[in-house]
Amino acid sequence: MVKLEQRAFDVAAYLKSAGLGRRIVELTPKQAFYSQGDLSDSVFYLQKGRARVTVVSHAGKEATITLLSAGDFVGECALAAVPGLRLSTATAITTCTALKISRDEMIRVMHAEHEFSDLFMKFLLERSMRTQADLVDQLFNSSEKRLARILLLMAEYGKVGERDVLLPKISQETLAEMIGTTRSRVSFFMNRFRKLGFIDYEGRIRVHKSLLNVVLHDLLPDGNAEKPALSGIPED
């Protein structure tokens, strides 16, 4: 009796194509993948584009909690033991292409295909490390250094392969939300970075590698802005 060879699972092909329990969706800028309060019934894999995840308080104040780029999953809370409601909103910043995977299909492929579950676990660990780094950044670094770090993350410095040195359009209000300061302070820091040759911007921001010196070596004239206190609300 001839044994049939089992075909190896191709993770890249799976995440590029539609199939049972998954479909490709196209989003225009400002269109939502899902909204806070929606049923948490699917996970998205961002194939192309940039997006952001936001939360809105009971008082109606919105805050950006993370930015997404190609290769990221979003909506992974759908995999909780008891499905619930979305705790955040994911919105396209640029034109996006994503694979929408149903909760049942996501659970199936994680159990059946080790290559996929390894990839997903690697993503979750990297996101956890990023969240911890964000917390440390908020606790110990000045708002100026926090802004430099966010710009570098958006430019994807440190990732293997090509980088988006020219950033997608993002408002100073959004940057202020992400680093916990005011729009006027962001404007002041951006002008300073431009004068020092770390960035250029006319409509869109271009990040130069020299901005790494701000994060790695604190190379700013006259030192940084005061670091936030560990108790109470950080002040700028």
Residue 163 is predicted with a pLDDT of: 54
For residues 26 and 123, state if they share a domain. Answer: yes
Q: Are 6 and 113 in contact (CB under 8 A)?
A: no
pLDDT of 134 = 82
Is residue 107, in this structure, part of any structural domain at all? Answer: yes
Are residues 79 and 98 located together in one domain of the fold?
A: yes
86 and 29 in a common domain: yes
| β-bridge pairing 89-92 and 51-56 | antiparallel
Do 56 and 94 share a domain, yes or no?
A: yes
Q: What is the pLDDT of residue 202?
A: 78
Residue 55, φ and ψ in degrees, nearest 5:
-130, 150
Can you give the pLDDT at residue 201?
A: 85
Higher pLDDT, 227 or 180: 180
Which tens digits make up the pLDDT trace of 99-118? 999 999 999 999 999 999 99
Tens digits of residue pLDDT in 3-61? 555 678 999 999 999 999 999 999 999 999 999 999 999 999 999 999 999 999 888 88
Please tell me whether residues 73 and 150 are part of one structural domain: no
167 and 188: one domain?
A: yes
Q: pLDDT, tens digit, for every residue of 167-178?
A: 888 888 888 888
Same domain, 27 and 86: yes
Q: In this structure, what are the phi and psi dihedrals at residue 191, rounded to the nearest 5 degrees?
A: -65, -40
CATH of the domain at 166: 1.10.10.10
Cα–Cα dist 83/77, whole Å: 8
The tokens for 68 are: 């997404």
What is the domain extent for residue 114? 11-131
User: Which of 15-19, 151-155, 179-183, 229-233 has the highest mean predicted lDDT (pLDDT)?
Assistant: 15-19
Give the CATH number for residue 100. Answer: 2.60.120.10
Segment holding 25, helix H or strand E? strand 22-27
Confidence at residue 233, expressed as pLDDT on a 0 to 100 scale: 36
Residues sharing a CB contact under 8 Å with residue 47, sequence separation 6 or more, in sequence order: 15, 16, 24, 70, 97, 98, 99
Q: What is the mean pLDDT of residues 149-164?
A: 72
Q: Are residues 195 and 127 in the same domain?
A: no
pLDDT for the residue 159: 64
Q: Is residue 112 part of a domain?
A: yes
Please check whether residue 111 lies inside any domain of the structure.
Answer: yes
Pick the last residue of a domain from 100, 131, 162.
131
Q: Which of residues 97, 131, 165 is at a domain's end?
A: 131
Q: Is 154 found in the same domain as 78?
A: no
Band (pLDDT 50/70/90 cuts) for residue 125 is very high
Of residues 134 and 232, the one with the higher pLDDT is: 134
Number of domains the chain contains: 2
Q: What is the pLDDT of residues 185-229, one digit of tens each?
A: 999 999 999 999 999 987 789 998 888 888 776 666 654 444 444
Between the alpha carbon of residue 38 and those of residues 8, 33, 58, 84, the distances in Å are 36, 10, 16, 9
Among 123, 117, 121, 91, residue whose Cα is nearest residue 14? 117
- Regarding whether 201 and 122 lie in a shared domain, the answer is no
pLDDT of res. 226: 44
Q: Which one of 80, 97, 131 terminates a domain?
A: 131
On whether both 91 and 160 belong to a single domain, the answer is no
- The model's pLDDT over 73-87, given as tens digits with 9 standing for 90+, comes to 999 999 987 778 999
Hey, how many other C-beta atoms are within 10 angstroms of the C-beta on 39?
12
Residue 175 lies in a domain: yes
Residue pair 197/209 in contact (Cβ under 8 Å)? The answer is no
* Alpha carbon distance 32, 29 (integer Å): 9
